[in-house]
Amino acid sequence: MRKSAIAASIMALAMALAGCGATSGDAGGQNAGSGQLSWSSSSERQLREALERRAVHGLDHVTFAADGASQAGEALTQEALRYARALALGATSPEELFEIYTIPRPRPDLLQGLTRALSDGHLDNWLEGLAPQSEAYRRLSKAYMELEAKKASPSPRIPLKDDPLEPGDSDPRIPAIARQLAASDYLDNPASAGNRYTPDMVRAVKRMQADYGIKPDGIIGKDALEILNLSDADRARALAVAMERLRWLERNPPATRIDVNTAAGRLTYWRDGKAVDTRKAVVGEPGEETPQLGSPIYRLVANPTWTVPRSIQEKEFADKGSNYLQTHNMAWQDGWIVQQSGPENSLGLVKFDMKNDHAIYLHDTPAKSLFQQVQRQRSHGCVRVQDALGFAELLARDEGVLDQWRKARAKGDEAFVSLPREIPVRLLYQTVLFDAKGDPVVRADPYGWDDRVAVALGFGSAKSHLLRNATGDIGP
């Protein structure tokens, strides 16, 4: 369990984490001795044309020296490598932008690739092949270019009027508000509202207001409308960030793995290249963010005990007396507060042990109601899994240790079942999802992490609306 801290210098910390992936100084071989590569007029033209088309990757706000300017020799080589790195690894470095980022990164040899592309005369094909080739990336790119085409006549923002919208009001802004409530998972059927502010919409707005610390009165005033109001520029910005985040990821991740999208509170289990299971997850609240980690599950823990971390102990237990500890099956042991096994244990009935230096893991929880929340950033940083026992059974069956797991569960005390092979887990952060038709939908940015990526890509800063957690939950 980690307690978030503001780094005094993100750059200095990124250097300490340089082993986690390629940083901007490495660039997949960019700064290796490139010698004097031979540039033909055709290759120069292909590079400039590729740079002119870089909006398809959401990189049109990033400036490149070879973009229309006269370059030659080594300078042209370095700009080609810089653009290649932007496509292959990202134009930004997550290790520099974030306190913790250990998700596996691509590691192409860009200098070797450029040398070969210049030799065979197909620089354009090589560059395009560096970006992700997934359907998700193509859909993000298509949506971004559609918004680019609308720049001359963008969709208007939902106008803010002097009088707030109250329950029962009729207003032409209602359909746009209903659509965004649905995109954010607060409303199921946006088409049913018409132009009337219906009771279903009022309930949805109240839930949203409570999540963001606004008085939950159902009245749509300035604060509520700011959260719902996405302009075309806001959407384009989010799509560009989503593409950048995909460029950070290795192109061929393990076929069997677990991906957790902490921005959306969703877990997906991939088995042999197919998504075979998806379920809700509760992740770290703002200020106790679940870090972006690549870290495998190596064993299942049945009936776990919980040793309360110092950070939670100091924050949550300062005013708790001995009666509270006894009521919650806790006791002091060797200077630590330890909660014994049982259905009310904060880890629930199963823990998925992971290998990382930040004490982050997946686990069960007795606080089942949190899975019904729309914004599920409610924990102290670890990941709580919906129907965790069912998920443990699924993993145990797939890994051939189901009998051992069931025997461990039946003991009632803490017991460990090692997996025959580790299952990679990626704790990702992606604020753009896809609806049933495959169209990108911009969701909330609960940690405000998109802003630092967008600014690094050349977009302006934007106001973030952070979740206000009032659960008082003590669990990890």
HEC-encoded secondary structure of 11-52: HHHHHHCHHHCCCCCCCCCCCCCCCCCCCCHHHHHHHHHHHH
Tell me how far apart the alpha carbons of residues 199 and 197 are, in angstroms, rounded to a whole number. 7
Close Cβ partners of 445 (under 8 Å, ≥ 6 residues apart)? 238, 263, 431, 451, 464
pLDDT at 229: 84
pTM for this entry: 0.86
Cβ atoms within 10 Å of 304's Cβ, excluding its own: 26
| Catalytic (active site) residue 382 | yes
Buried b (16+ CB within 10 A) or exposed e, 23-58: bbebbbbbeeebeebebeeebbebbbebbeebebbb
φ and ψ at residue 364, rounded to 5 degrees = -80, 175
Say how many Å lie between the first and final Cα of the chain, rounded. Answer: 6
Bridge-based pairing state of the strands 377-379 and 274-284: parallel
* Closest CA relative to residue 104, chosen from 329, 290, 296: 296
Contact between 126 and 117 (Cβ < 8 Å): yes
Half-sphere exposure of 317 toward its Cβ, with a 13 Å CA cutoff?
24
* Residues 6 or more apart in contact with residue 120 via CB below 8 angstroms: none
How far apart CA 248 and CA 63 sit, in angstroms, is 19
Q: Which of 57, 61, 380, 382 is catalytic?
A: 382
The predicted pLDDT at position 297 comes to: 98
Cα–chain-centroid distance for residue 473? 23
Q: What residues have CB less than 8 Å from 168, skipping those under 6 apart?
A: 196, 197
CB neighbour list of residue 372: distance below 8 Å, 6 or more residues apart: none
Q: What is the CATH number of domain 253-305+341-430?
A: 2.40.440.10
Distance, in Å, from the CA atom of 292 to the CA atom of 286, rounded to the nearest integer, reads 14
Listed by start position, the domains of the chain span 10-134, 253-305+341-430
Burial of residue 429, with CB atoms counted within 10 A of its CB: 0-12 exposed, 13-18 middle, 19 or more buried = buried
The enclosing H or E element of 73 equals helix 73-88
> What does the block give as tokens for 326?
């006894």
> For residue 269, what are the β-bridge partners?
258, 277
pLDDT of residue 212: 84
302 phi and psi angles, rounded to 5 deg: -85, 140
Q: Which two tokens stand for residue 185?
A: 């998972």
Name the catalytic one among 57, 61, 363, 380. Answer: 363
Of 452, 469, 415, 104, the C-alpha closest to 282 is 469
Strands (E), 340-459: 350-354, 362-363, 377-379, 383-385, 415-423, 425-428, 432-434, 440-442
424: left (phi over 0), alpha (psi -120 to 50) or beta: beta
Rg of the chain taking only CA atoms, in angstroms:
25
Asked if 423 and 395 touch (Cβ cutoff 8 Å), the reply is yes
pLDDT by residue, tens only, the chain of 476 residues? 444 433 333 333 333 333 223 333 344 544 445 557 889 999 999 999 999 999 999 999 999 876 655 566 788 999 999 999 999 999 999 999 999 999 999 999 999 999 999 999 999 999 999 999 999 999 999 999 999 998 877 776 777 787 899 999 999 989 889 988 988 889 987 877 688 999 999 999 999 998 888 889 999 988 888 888 888 899 999 999 999 999 999 999 999 999 999 999 999 999 999 999 999 999 999 999 999 999 999 999 999 999 999 888 888 887 777 888 998 999 999 989 999 999 999 999 999 999 999 999 999 999 999 999 888 999 999 999 999 999 999 999 999 999 999 999 999 999 999 999 999 999 999 999 998 888 898 888 999 999 999 999 999 888 777 667 666 677 78
CB atoms within 10 A of CB 442: 22
Q: Is 336 helix (H, G, I), strand (E, B) or coil?
A: strand
Cα(309)–Cα(463) distance, integer angstroms = 33
> Are the C-beta atoms of residues 364 and 389 closer than 8 Å to each other?
yes
- CA pair distance 362, 385, nearest whole angstrom: 7
Give the single-character DSSP code of 98. Answer: S
